[in-house]
Amino acid sequence: MKRRFFGAIFATLAAAMLLGVAASAQNAAVPAGNGADIPGLGEIMTLQQLRHIKLWFAGRAGNWPLADYEVGELNEGFEDVNKLLGGDTVEKMVGAPIKALQKAIDDKNRAAFMTAFDSLSAGCNDCHHTLDHAFIVIQRPSLLPYSDQVFEPQKQ
Ligand code: HEC
């Protein structure tokens, strides 16, 4: 009985320590005093990264309804970024590539999609450069981490 009790205390302490480590790792990712670190921006970017990956695999598979959905989500994410940043940075960096992507998707044009996708990634990187985060570099994804989602086109 006593052993089990101490076991439970030990497990709780270990969990608390793990949480502490996770929390400090998160804090370390957001250096204080950097003008470009706007609360919430990092979180939106994590979602943008997910959509960027899904968009690629949807377009590559020729799944245009899914690609259309993902580019819409990306666009909404950038609208939120725009509210946080103000000015015209978002439009300047990714406005044209997003429009080109939307057109390629509407036209179901895979080659145009791929070109537009690469200019979007270049836009992501231009902005990271401009806002002091040049070390965050985006490229075409090579691996689909979402094995629980089907990217092949479905019969509508
Ligand atoms: C308007 C400028 C801007 C654009 C456009 C932009 N980013 Fe970012 N991104 C940032 C900034 C600034 C940060 C750093 C945010 C922070 O931590 O405060 C960032 C951070 C990130 C991160 C790091 C998040 C993390 O916690 O690991 C990823 C990944 C990322 N961006 C992906 C993208 C992708 C993908 C695109 C394009 C589809 C993109 N970004 C477009 C400004 C931008």
The whole-number pLDDT of residue 22 equals 45
pLDDT in tens, 47-58: 999 999 999 999
Residue to substitute in 136, 137, 138, 140 for testing ligand 1 pocket (most ligand atoms within 8 angstroms of CB): 136
Mean pLDDT of 21-36: 42
55 neighbors 74 (Cβ within 8 angstroms): yes
Residue 96 has pLDDT above 70, yes or no: yes
Residue 75 has pLDDT above 90, yes or no: yes
Does 45 contact ligand 1 (Cβ within 6 A)? Answer: yes
The whole-number pLDDT of residue 8 equals 59
128 C-alpha to ligand 1 centroid (Å): 6
Distance CA 57, CA 78 (A): 20
In this prediction, residue 156 has a pLDDT band, given cuts at 50, 70 and 90, of confident
In this prediction, residue 26 has a pLDDT band, given cuts at 50, 70 and 90, of very low
Residue 124 has pLDDT above 60, yes or no: yes
The whole-number pLDDT of residue 9 equals 54
Does 138 contact ligand 1 (Cβ within 6 A)? Answer: yes
Please enumerate, as own/partner, the contacts of 150-153 that have beta carbons within 8 Å and a separation of 24 or more. Answer: 151/54, 151/57, 151/58, 151/61, 151/63, 151/66, 152/61, 152/63, 153/61, 153/62, 153/63, 153/64, 153/65, 153/66
Q: What is the dihedral of CA 66, 108, 119, 142, to 10 degrees?
A: 60
